[in-house]
């Protein structure tokens, strides 16, 4: 039996026997541990820390070819999709260093359950709901900090040693890391860790059978144990919180402020020349910074031109951004190939984002939009200084 084995906890909750197996998603030791525990315990159900989307992806049932890149751009999901890719790429890079596929222990659990005709329970919340809840709750500085950390991890040449992974898998160290993460980015910690601890614990409680082996990340073990036995309504944890209304207000206020500045200058100075000068600076500042963003993303020259022309106008239109225009132009000029969709799974470093047409289109859209936003907040004060 799996008693007194490191990273394995046995609990009795009501009429259920629950064996929690704490793993690292890039650990060879975890793969062997999962295999041994399931073989020894012969459970009624094997639970895995996966949602349906990640279950399909990890078993390659859900292919990137189904991705509609233009739909992602039009719906304004560019940043969310890029963040998803960054997280996946960072994990794949570590897995590449250790010569193990990320999530191998989950695959092992699924295959072991299928071999013995044991039921499989998916314990985790939908990954898109988790990411959207985290993104909506994060402050701007937290978003910047998270993206910077991911980018630094991709750019850094430092190799990850297997001994390091096995060390951080130990519960006390992992708990310490989680607490540090919570201090650095508290809103993300709440969504990515605390809420999922509650969610996974409740899914374990309602899993079929009397004996459950639950394969979960070691960092979740203490939280899951805390919430086991407390049945909760999970619907509130599956809702996407509304974004701050201030962003919507600002989008409509900007054109009013711009028109007010132009009108004030014309009425008070009676000068068509001043009006033309202000319009020219608005166009140049906004257009240049948006075009610069597209250039940094190595967009097609016509994409850069499209960003330059579109930004001064889209900044005054709350329903469309310069990034949408630039992204769609880039997608048209450099239409993704089937190979680009297939290779999304192979991106393990920052340069890979530039080489792949899909991720480069997303970078073009995101950076052109960022440049236009910066241009707007640079240009408006400058126009006021001309009055």
Query: Which residue in the block uniquely carries the two structure tokens 């509304």?
Result: 242
The mean-pLDDT minimum among 115-129, 158-172, 241-255 falls in 158-172
pLDDT reported for residue 172: 43
What 3-state DSSP class applies to 139? Answer: coil
Residues 6+ apart with CB under 8 A from 155: 349, 350
Residues 6+ apart with CB under 8 A from 346: 92, 352
pLDDT reported for residue 25: 65
Q: What is the span of the domain harbouring residue 151?
A: 8-238
Higher-scoring residue by pLDDT: 340, 137: 137
Please check the confidence at residue 245 and state whether its pLDDT lies above 90: no
Share of the chain above pLDDT 90, in %: 35
The mean-pLDDT minimum among 144-158, 253-267, 372-386 falls in 144-158
Higher-scoring residue by pLDDT: 279, 349: 279
> Which of 238, 270, 297 is a domain's end point?
238
Residues 6+ apart with CB under 8 A from 150: 83, 86, 87, 90
The CA distances from residue 11 to 39, 207, 356, in Å, are 18, 15, 47
Of the pLDDT bands very low, low, confident and very high (cuts 50, 70, 90), residue 341 is low
Distance CA(48)–CA(110), nearest Å, equals: 8
In this structure, are 159 and 302 located in the same domain? no
Exposure b/e, 231-264, CB count within 10 A at least 16 = b: eeeeeebeeeeeeeeeeeeeeeebeeebeebbee
Q: How far apart are the first and last CA of the chain?
A: 80
Across residues 22-46, what is the average pLDDT? 87
Please check the confidence at residue 159 and state whether its pLDDT lies above 50: yes
Distance CA(62)–CA(66), nearest Å, equals: 8
Q: Is 237 left (phi over 0), alpha (psi -120 to 50) or beta?
A: alpha
Higher-scoring residue by pLDDT: 81, 275: 275
Distance CA(377)–CA(387), nearest Å, equals: 17
Most confident of 46-55, 161-170, 349-358: 46-55
In this structure, are 177 and 310 located in the same domain? no
Question: Is the Cβ–Cβ distance between 311 and 286 less than 8 Å?
Answer: yes
Exposure b/e, 338-377, CB count within 10 A at least 16 = b: eebbebbeebbbbebbeebbbbbbbbbbbbbbbbbbbbbe
Please check the confidence at residue 61 and state whether its pLDDT lies above 70: no
The mean-pLDDT minimum among 117-121, 179-183, 265-269 falls in 179-183
Q: Whose CA is closest to 254, among 375, 369, 339? A: 375
The CA distances from residue 246 to 133, 187, 188, in Å, are 18, 19, 21
In this structure, are 350 and 231 located in the same domain? no
> Which of 189, 206, 238 is a domain's end point?
238
Q: Whose CA is closest to 173, among 225, 215, 219, 224? A: 219
pLDDT reported for residue 348: 56
Across residues 340-350, what is the average pLDDT? 59
In this structure, are 226 and 79 located in the same domain? yes
Across residues 65-85, what is the average pLDDT? 66
The token pair that represents 138 in the structure block: 């994060």
Of the pLDDT bands very low, low, confident and very high (cuts 50, 70, 90), residue 288 is very high
pLDDT reported for residue 354: 72
> Which of 179, 206, 238 is a domain's end point?
238
Share of the chain above pLDDT 70, in %: 71
In this structure, are 83 and 184 located in the same domain? yes
Across residues 325-342, what is the average pLDDT? 79
- The answer to whether residue 1 sits within a structural domain is no
Of the pLDDT bands very low, low, confident and very high (cuts 50, 70, 90), residue 382 is very high
Of the pLDDT bands very low, low, confident and very high (cuts 50, 70, 90), residue 4 is low
Please check the confidence at residue 171 and state whether its pLDDT lies above 50: no
Higher-scoring residue by pLDDT: 87, 134: 134
In this structure, are 211 and 254 located in the same domain? no
In this structure, are 276 and 226 located in the same domain? no
- The answer to whether residue 208 sits within a structural domain is yes
In this structure, are 36 and 178 located in the same domain? yes
68 HSE (CA, 13 A, CB side): 6
Of the pLDDT bands very low, low, confident and very high (cuts 50, 70, 90), residue 380 is very high
The CA distances from residue 373 to 13, 135, 250, 321, in Å, are 53, 19, 11, 9
Residues paired with residue 229 on neighbouring β-strands, in sequence order: none
In this structure, are 130 and 179 located in the same domain? yes
Of the pLDDT bands very low, low, confident and very high (cuts 50, 70, 90), residue 192 is confident
Please check the confidence at residue 173 and state whether its pLDDT lies above 50: no
* Count of CB atoms situated within 10 Å of the CB of 96: 17
Mean pLDDT of the chain: 80
The mean-pLDDT minimum among 176-190, 194-208, 370-384 falls in 176-190
Sign of CA dihedral 62, 68, 69, 73: negative
- The answer to whether residue 33 sits within a structural domain is yes
- The answer to whether residue 218 sits within a structural domain is yes
Domain count, the chain: 2
Please check the confidence at residue 318 and state whether its pLDDT lies above 60: yes
Question: Is the Cβ–Cβ distance between 143 and 68 less than 8 Å?
Answer: no
Sheet of 16-23, strands arranged across: 8-13, 16-23, 211-217, 45-48, 119-122
Which pairs with CB-CB distance under 8 Å and at least 24 residues apart come from 295-302? 296/367, 297/354, 297/360, 297/363, 297/364, 297/366, 297/367, 297/368, 298/354, 298/360, 298/363, 299/326, 299/330, 299/360, 299/364, 299/368, 300/329, 300/330, 300/333, 300/334, 302/329, 302/333
Distance CA(13)–CA(271), nearest Å, equals: 80
Residue 120 backbone dihedrals phi, psi, to 5 degrees: -115, 130
- The answer to whether residue 2 sits within a structural domain is no
């Amino acid at each position: 039996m799996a008693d007194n084995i490191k990273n394995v906890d046995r609990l009795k909750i009501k009429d259920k026997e629950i064996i929690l197996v704490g793993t690292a998603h890039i650990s060879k030791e975890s793969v062997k541990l999962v295999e041994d525990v399931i073989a020894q315990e012969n459970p009624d159900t094997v639970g895995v820390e996966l949602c349906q989307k990640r279950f399909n992806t990890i078993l390659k049932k859900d292919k990137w070819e189904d991705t509609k890149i233009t739909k992602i751009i039009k719906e304004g999901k560019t940043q969310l999709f890029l963040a998803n890719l960054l997280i996946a790429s960072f994990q794949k890079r570590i897995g590449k260093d250790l010569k193990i596929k990320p999530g191998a222990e989950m695959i092992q659990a699924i295959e072991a359950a299928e071999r013995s005709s044991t039921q499989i329970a998916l314990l985790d919340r939908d990954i898109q709901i988790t990411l959207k809840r985290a993104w909506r709750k994060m402050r701007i500085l937290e978003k910047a900090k998270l993206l910077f950390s991911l980018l630094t991890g991709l750019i850094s040449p430092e190799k990850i040693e297997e001994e390091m992974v096995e060390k951080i898998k130990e519960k006390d160290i992992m708990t310490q890391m989680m607490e540090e993460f919570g201090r650095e980015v508290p809103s993300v910690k709440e969504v990515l860790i605390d809420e999922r601890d509650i969610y996974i614990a409740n899914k374990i409680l309602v899993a079929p059978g009397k004996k459950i082996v639950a394969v979960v990340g070691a960092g979740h073990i203490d939280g899951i144990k805390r919430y086991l036995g407390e049945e909760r309504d999970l619907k509130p944890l599956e809702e996407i919180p509304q974004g701050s209304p201030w962003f919507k207000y600002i989008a409509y206020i900007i054109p009013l402020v711009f028109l007010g500045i132009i009108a004030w200058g014309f009425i008070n100075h009676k000068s068509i020349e001043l009006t033309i000068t202000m319009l020219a600076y608005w166009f140049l500042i906004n257009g240049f910074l948006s075009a610069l963003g597209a250039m940094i993303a190595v967009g097609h020259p016509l994409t850069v031109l499209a960003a330059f022309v579109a930004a001064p106008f889209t900044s005054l239109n709350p329903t469309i951004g310069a990034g949408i225009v630039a992204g769609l132009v880039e997608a048209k000029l450099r239409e993704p190939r089937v190979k680009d969709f297939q290779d999304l799974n192979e991106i393990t470093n920052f340069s890979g984002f530039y080489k792949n047409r899909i991720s480069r289109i997303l970078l073009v859209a995101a950076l052109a939009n960022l440049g236009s936003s910066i241009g707007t907040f640079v240009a408006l004060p400058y126009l006021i200084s001309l009055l």
